[in-house]
Amino acid sequence: MGRVLPLSRCPLYPYWPGLLLIAAMWASFAVWISWDRSVELRDATQTSATLVESLTAHTAQVVGEADRATNYVARIALAQGLDLDLQEWRRNGLLDDPAFVQVAIVDAHGILRASTVDGFRPIDVSDRDHIRVHLVPGGSASGDLYIGKPVVGRTSGKPSIQVSRAIRWRDGTLLGVAVVSMDPTYFTGLYKLLRIGRQGLVTVVGTRDFVIRARRTQAEESLGETLPPDSPLRAAIANAPRGTFRAVSRLDHIERIYSYQRIERFPLAVAVGFSTDEYLQAFRHRRNLLLVSGAFLTLLIAFAEVRRVSLWHKLVASATRERKAMEQEAENAAHLKALFRAIPDAAIAFSDGTVQDVNPRLAPLLDVENQSLSGQPPRALATALFARDMSEDQEEKIDTLVQALEPQAPQDSRRLVFTLKTPRVLVLEVRIEPLPSPYHGVVALIRDITAQTQVDRMKSEFVATAAHELRTPTAGILGLSELLAADRVPAPRKQSIYEMIRDQAKALSALVSDLLDLARIEARADKDFNMEEFDFQDVIDSAIGKLPGVRERVERDSGDESVRVRGDYSQLETVVRNLLENCMKYSAPDTPIRIRAKKAGPALRVTVEDEGIGIAQNEQDKVFDRFYRVDKHAAVAGTGLGLALVREIVQLHGGRVWLESTPGVGTRVSFSIPTQA
């Protein structure tokens, strides 16, 4: 079994309205055509029935005329004998009917005895049917009257029909026969007036012998034939005295609508036939016209349909394209939006001079909510951005930024840097990118570059400090060695100069190694670590040993037990040394320094504490940054690297470092590292 496809898959499916219209149109045409045809046929039937009635009357009258003439002649012949001067009668207008070809009298032997034809001769006509039926006893068909079959006249050569009547004495013996020969065209004489078409038919047929007495169409005139036994007309006449039917003629094979009627007084029937083909000609014209217009309309509808469907397809295609473009656009917009939100800088989009959108990074830079900026002019943003600025040129900054953000500002990228006092110093970089034409707008990116600026500043400070730190021992070594070279130094002092040179060189080397350490550790060169297990108290001991003046001040918890750790001995010693060094640097010489190492769970905790100048709260986070030095402590020599190094080393041991300090009271730096690294 074949699979049933859904209707919508059919290639003709889109054309269904047009197809429906065409189908409806043709259906109504078909109904109209069949109705019109049936009306025409009914009309033909009625017309032929009417015609046959008048023709029947006419034929009955013509035959009746002949009948009367034979009666009259018979009566006179009985009175005056057979040899009557019929020519004389004719001349006197007695038998001068135009339908009569001849009126004659034949005696009982079949010899023509009298005739209306001039110069007739008494010939034997006993062989003629219409005479013989009377001569032969019992041969007469209907009483004494006989309407013969058409014959061709021996003298005239013209066809004629004989109406013959036996002339009998009262006792029934035959005296003779009165004969009227009639022109058969008289039966069909009305034909021309009837207008029944070229193939229309008028016929007079005998109802006993079914011999055609007269038959006429426009094309031919015939007589004498017998209706074949299967002739529909023959069957109809035999069946009923009158009627109508449609059939194909057995004689000329033309289909006709027939109406027929028998003549009551004579054994004759009259029939009229219309050729169906001819009668329906007007109908056919109308039908053909309708078919042509139908075909034309069909083409028109089909054309309109094809056009409609193609337009529809175009519309659908363009709608699809548009939808895809919109989806693509929406996707792009979503990407841009995500990008806009993801950029690490604060971003503000301006369109036509007002804020269109801002990303979440702007909020921390402002005192106001993001939303309140939407739809605002550039001045609103500038005012919000510099609201916390306490510097004198605050207004100037606002104006500069507003100017740069104006839509009519020069269409190129620009970069502005603003330094704000909030009260801490805040450095903001504002980059402005104009949108490409034809859009009127800019995108502003704001970045907090305070840290970077500070690092830059600290780096340059460090370079200066480092240069100074390096220069001092270098100059010392140089001066002392020159002194020695000049050989001006007395021998007993030489020893101390050698020692001074050695100390300076050591300081120099320490500084250089600090720098190198930091550089290496920053590069995460932890693979250089030499991991081993040792007692941390040893580390503290050796750190104290390496720092002159510490031992005198340091206080170690008497309960310090040995704490075994795994780590890089010399790096951890650097940590302790740096912390003790800071205590020495930032506290009075007569104050104590406390150091303590303790096990706390799986970790070692070390605390180094002084009673020195302390560090302000807001500086405490930053002292671990590289090169960071508290401004107020500038008088004390230092590189700002010590605590940075401490943090790096502790973190590389998997630990952490923190600081507690109160200015004027003291500072405690603690760190903890796992004992089993």
Residues engaged in binding ligand ADP (CB under 6 A):
578, 582-583, 585-586, 610, 612-615, 623, 628-630, 633, 638-644, 667
User: By three-state DSSP, how is residue 504 classified?
Assistant: helix
From the number of C-beta atoms within 10 Å of its C-beta (0-12, 13-18, 19+), residue 510 rates as middle
CB 596 to ligand ADP: min, Å? 15
User: By three-state DSSP, how is residue 315 classified?
Assistant: helix
Reading the block at residue 548, the tokens are 């002159």
Query: Which position has the token pair 């083909």?
Result: 277
Taking alpha carbons only, the member of 67, 94, 75 closest to residue 163 is: 67
Are residues 180 and 100 in contact, defined by beta-carbon separation less than 8 angstroms?
Answer: yes
CB 615 to ligand ADP: min, Å? 5
Pick 125 or 630: Cβ nearer ligand ADP: 630
User: By three-state DSSP, how is residue 86 classified?
Assistant: helix
Pick 156 or 509: Cβ nearer ligand ADP: 509
> How many C-beta atoms lie closer than 10 Å to residue 443's C-beta?
18
Q: Which amino acid is at 7?
A: L
Half-sphere exposure of 392 (CA within 13 A, CB side): 0
Q: Any residues with CB less than 8 A from the CB of 222 and at least 6 apart, and which?
A: 212, 215, 216
Taking alpha carbons only, the member of 352, 348, 434, 344 closest to residue 385 is: 348
Taking alpha carbons only, the member of 455, 442, 387 closest to residue 418 is: 387
Pick 67 or 610: Cβ nearer ligand ADP: 610
Pick 386 or 586: Cβ nearer ligand ADP: 586
DSSP 355-381: EEEE-GGGGGG-SS-SGGGTT--HHHH
Taking alpha carbons only, the member of 582, 595, 578, 598 closest to residue 646 is: 578
Distance of CA 496 to the CA centre of its chain: 100
Q: Edge-to-edge, what's the strand order for the sheet holding 603-610?
A: 554-556, 593-600, 603-610, 666-674, 656-662
CB 597 to ligand ADP: min, Å? 18
For residues 347 and 442, what is the distance between their CA atoms, to the nearest angstrom? 10
CB 579 to ligand ADP: min, Å? 8
Pick 89 or 586: Cβ nearer ligand ADP: 586
Question: Which residues make beta-bridge pairs with 256?
Answer: 247, 275
Backbone angles phi, psi at 401, to 5 degrees: -65, -45
Residues in the chain: 677
Reading the block at residue 638, the tokens are 């230092």
Are residues 405 and 382 in contact, defined by beta-carbon separation less than 8 angstroms?
Answer: yes
> 178's torsion region: left (phi>0), alpha (psi -120 to 50) or beta?
beta
Taking alpha carbons only, the member of 123, 95, 206 closest to residue 131 is: 123
Half-sphere exposure of 233 (CA within 13 A, CB side): 33
Alpha carbon of 536 to those of 91, 504, 546, 642, 649: distances in Å?
182, 30, 16, 20, 15
Q: Any residues with CB less than 8 A from the CB of 31 and at least 6 apart, and which?
A: none
Radius of gyration of the chain (CA): 73
Taking alpha carbons only, the member of 274, 268, 269, 270 closest to residue 249 is: 274
Taking alpha carbons only, the member of 405, 404, 397 closest to residue 352 is: 405
Backbone angles phi, psi at 153, to 5 degrees: -65, 140
